[in-house]
Amino acid sequence: MSEYHPFHILLPPQRMALRRFAIKLTGNEHRAEDLVQETFLKAWANREKFTLGTELRGWLFTILRNTFYSDLRKHKREVEDADGKHAALLFDEATQEYAIELNEVIAAIAILPEIHRQPLVMVGMQGFSQLEAAAACGCALGTIKSRVSRARARLNDTFGHENDLTRQDIAHPVGDMRTSIGARVSEMT
């Protein structure tokens, strides 16, 4: 047992009065008993702050009342969710996998030869038509089609896809990240 303190003698007689007050506040005997216990714990933890010779009962009642109102405010903000419906509404899909996949796509595009990467980025990410890309690269339309096709085939091989990717798959490999990918790939060129 800890050192002797006057509270060893002064607290026990206050129990019944505190319990009656707690029952009036809570309307529940079990909750009232818990509230009295919390009051005694808080009083004991702060026993140095109490000045002997002052009104102990008033001090204890104040602790009990404040504890009750603090708990009441805290419980008001809590939502009962026994079946987990509210928690399910707060669920957000993890995005780490998408970021990793995006980085893998960018890395795969970065290792493509420049002759294939440039047309792929222009057509697949920057939204150029194949005709516009051909004009920008200074080559024929058929050449751009061939280079984009080869670049897509290499990406398919890199990621182990059996079917060819469509233009939309390349343009939006991870959601609507066209601008972000284009900017990052442009930095590499």
Per-residue pLDDT of the chain (189 residues; tens, 9 = 90+): 457 777 777 778 888 888 999 999 999 899 999 999 998 889 888 878 877 778 888 888 999 999 999 988 888 777 777 787 777 777 777 778 888 888 888 999 999 999 999 999 999 889 999 999 999 999 999 999 999 999 999 988 888 875 544 444 444 444 444 555 555 555 554
The answer to the question of residue 49 being in a domain is yes
| Sign for the pseudo-dihedral over CA of 157, 159, 160, 166 | negative
Indicate whether 68 and 100 sit together in one domain.
no
The pLDDT assigned to 121 comes to 92
Indicate whether 16 and 52 sit together in one domain.
yes
Indicate whether 35 and 70 sit together in one domain.
yes
Domain boundary among 87, 104, 134: 87
Indicate whether 34 and 83 sit together in one domain.
yes
The pLDDT assigned to 165 comes to 45
Domain boundary among 87, 121, 136: 87
The answer to the question of residue 65 being in a domain is yes
The pLDDT assigned to 7 comes to 74
The answer to the question of residue 1 being in a domain is no
Q: How far is CA 170 from CA 67, 123, 146, 177, in A?
A: 60, 9, 16, 11
What predicted TM-score, i.e. pTM, was given to this entire model? 0.41
Indicate whether 146 and 71 sit together in one domain.
no
Owning domain of residue 37:
7-87
Name 175's Cβ contacts closer than 8 Å, sequence gap at least 6. Answer: 98
Indicate whether 102 and 178 sit together in one domain.
yes
- Given a contact cutoff of 8 angstroms between Cβ atoms, the answer to whether 52 and 6 are in contact is yes
Q: How far is 44 from 158, CA to CA, in rounded Å?
A: 68
Indicate whether 37 and 70 sit together in one domain.
yes
The answer to the question of residue 25 being in a domain is yes
The burial class, CB within 10 Å (0-12 / 13-18 / 19+), for 32 is buried
Domain harbouring 177, CATH code: 1.10.10.10
The answer to the question of residue 122 being in a domain is yes
Domain boundary among 62, 87, 112: 87
Indicate whether 36 and 81 sit together in one domain.
yes
Indicate whether 42 and 108 sit together in one domain.
no
How many independent structural domains does the chain possess? 2
The answer to the question of residue 24 being in a domain is yes
The answer to the question of residue 39 being in a domain is yes
Indicate whether 150 and 181 sit together in one domain.
yes
CA 49: distance to chain centroid?
41
Indicate whether 100 and 171 sit together in one domain.
yes
Q: Which two tokens stand for residue 88?
A: 């399910």
